[in-house]
Chains A and B, each alone.
Chain A
């Protein structure tokens, strides 16, 4: 057993408090750094952190146990291998890689080798959906892994000579750029222009552009900024939601890296417009490799007076940005859960109202926006609202960045106008023979060929940009199962419909697999799905049955197959006849 010197822990915590602050919002980064040192969070470490921040140790344990990237029980291996089990990697052959990894190390998923060298885990979406199967070892990413490559990687770890697939940051695979990605702006051009405008002029320009949030929900950006701008408060906050947890989404990964300055311009413009002086980028734990790069970008901007006091000589306009890392919880992409997480709590969504625009981070007015939304805002300020809103549809203006993966010839990142037909999109990506398309990630809808003439727009099928193509041979029941497993794992557990309903749906799928689900029971499950949609507190629960319900609706003959093959009990056969 490791003997831990309390005094030493205390000294370390003191240092970390200097870096992250001494209030509760420093809890997560302190725990993350301590885990780096001790390879897990032993009780002593959590107790000392609690004392030091003046909170109860149980609270600290409650927080640590919430996040899958924080470990409280046992020391993790020197190499923590996390294999993505999201549908896109699944379609690309994850199961074979999984088996090979188990064979190589002689352990199952969730275990650590006796020599303490390896921990093997599954993870949800690494944001590498166009290059699956993907896995992450500590903070390094590996793409297009096959069993042979898996074996090689393990051998490299054994020799402590692990070569990364991507020595710096994952290069992006932009297959089609448009006005947004080919904007041609210089860094800081947008902030310079914005500082020559009044706060209300900025918000009005965004309003005229009709920009709606790119994170998925499509809330008008100008309304959010206006409300936060009008709200009373000395300390307002700008938060960039870079949690990108929606399975099948990887466009923010590219935007964060290739359009960093424009994101930071957008955040700074947002701060000026609402009157904020502090900002955060909430970066998903899986993108840890990008933290250093972003920190350098922030540092450069400080030295160029684009962050800090009196930005670009504008008297009284102070703004700075810090990076906070997520820790493997999808629900933390929901904006109120994200704020809870920033404050050092479990990422449990809040009741609304009040809304973050007036009661956000530590009770202060806060805007939370997606990476792409901030970039679009910066571009609109320079190029004008008409440049933006000539594209798209009546209710969904502008171009949108899509992450496209699955069974298609050219997966990658695409810029299309809102309103594009699914069939047009499939043609572009080489997926014309698709049997189904999942639009909007796990929380979106799965449509079949009959709906390929529908459009992607907030008024038809809305999407934060995740598109997963399913080829003719896809087993749709397995697709539904994969998504439900995801939600069962990611539910925060606060409310009953989501916490207990999703496992019931999953159980139903297993019954279907085994030919033990009657049509009557399936109809009951559909009703349960609708109840979960209506009665859950946050967007996670509300959207969790979408994939299941749409697959049941669109592929009923297929998923009822096993049951029709005659594996029913007498009672079930009876029930089916009714």
Chain B
């Protein structure tokens, strides 16, 4: 059973996604900050990471994606964010600065999220 690590400081979002993933047969690990996320990544060996951008610092998601890819470049990272709507920041996948496998805007429809996850897990 695939394990997903959710790294996000928005508790409502985390609990909704947690529920959705569990009811679809995934194992879930949760972290609310970049630091916690990195610890959980080492402890739980997830198969995929769902990653927010703005947490304690506005660039935490980018920084964490860079660290993750240095550690384990084959674990897919799906960036989920509404940073664009909040701040106007428009960014793109970029192997150096934003090394994620894909990204989606929040809020996101459950079926779209599941499709994306399955696609990234190669199912």
Point out which of A199, A227, A231, A354 has the most chain B C-beta atoms below 10 A from its C-beta: A227
In the bound complex, do residue B88 and residue A230 qualify as a contact, i.e. CB atoms below 8 Å apart?
no
- Nearest Cβ on chain B to A455's Cβ, whole angstroms: 24
Q: Does B58 contact A (CB under 8 A)?
A: yes
- Name A227's closest neighbour in chain B (CB-CB): B59
CB pair A220–B57 under 8 Å, yes or no, is yes
Determine if A358 is an interface residue (Cβ-Cβ < 8 Å): yes
Given A198-B96, A230-B98: A358 touches B88 (CB 8 Å cut-off): yes
| A204 at the B interface (CB under 8 A) | yes
Contacts of A275 in B (CB 8 A): 97
For B82, list chain A residues within 8 Å (CB).
none
Task: Return B97 CB to nearest CB of chain A, in Å.
Answer: 4
Q: Is A557 an interface residue (CB 8 A)?
A: no
Residue in B59, B86, B98 whose CB lies within 8 Å of A223: B59
Given A223-B58, A226-B97, A230-B59: A200 touches B90 (CB 8 Å cut-off): no
Q: Which residues of B contact A204 (CB under 8 A)?
A: 63, 66
Contacting pair A358 B89 (CB below 8 A): yes
Is B89 within 8 A of A231, CB to CB? yes
Q: How far is the CB of B51 from chain A (nearest CB, A)?
A: 13
- Is A20 close to B, CB under 8 A? no
Interface centre among B91, B92, B96, B97 (most CB of A within 10 A): B97
Q: Which residues of A contact B66 (CB under 8 A)?
A: 200, 204
- Tell me if A232 and B91 are in contact (CB < 8 A): yes
Q: Given A200-B66, A200-B97, A207-B63, are A230 and B89 neighbors across the interface (CB < 8 Å)?
A: yes
CB-CB under 8 A for A227 and B58, given A353-B88, A358-B87: yes
* Residue total for A at the interface (Cβ-Cβ under 8 A): 21
A357 touches B97 (CB 8 A): no
A355 at the B interface (CB under 8 A): yes
Question: B94 on the interface (CB 8 Å rule)?
Answer: yes
Q: Does B62 contact A (CB under 8 A)?
A: yes
| Contact call B88/A232, Cβ cutoff below 8 A | no
Majority DSSP secondary structure for residues of A touching B: helix
A198 to B95, CA, bound (A): 11
The verdict on A247 contacting chain B, using a C-beta distance below 8 Å, is no
- Which residues from B are CB-within-8-Å of A229? 62, 96-97
Q: A200 touching B91 by the CB < 8 A rule?
A: no
Q: For residue A222, which residue of chain B has the nearest CB?
A: B59
Complex Cα distance, B59 from A226, in Å, reads 7
Interface 1/0 per residue, A49-76 and B, CB below 8 Å: 0000000000000000000000000000
Least CB distance from B70 to A in Å reads 9
Q: Which of B87, B92, B96, B97 contacts A354 (CB 8 A)?
A: B87
- A223-B57 in contact (CB<8A): yes
**Given that A200-B96, A220-B57 are known contacts, is A226 also in contact with B90, CB under 8 Å in the complex?**
no
- From 198 to 234 in chain A, residues with beta carbon under 8 angstroms from any chain B beta carbon are 198-200, 204, 207, 220, 222-223, 226-227, 229-232
Binary contact readout B4-15 vs A (1 if CB under 8 angstroms, 0 otherwise): 000000000000
Query: Chain A, 346-357, contact with B by CB distance < 8 Å: what is the 0/1 string?
Result: 000000011101
List residues 54-108 of chain B with CB under 8 A from any CB of chain A.
Answer: 57-59, 62-63, 66, 86-92, 94, 96-98
The interface of chain B, by Cβ under 8 A from chain A, is: 57-59, 62-63, 66, 86-92, 94, 96-98
Interface of A with B (CB < 8 Å)?
198-200, 204, 207, 220, 222-223, 226-227, 229-232, 275, 353-355, 357-359
9 CB-based A-B contacts, threshold 8 Å: A199-B97, A200-B66, A207-B63, A223-B57, A226-B59, A229-B96, A230-B89, A231-B89, A355-B87
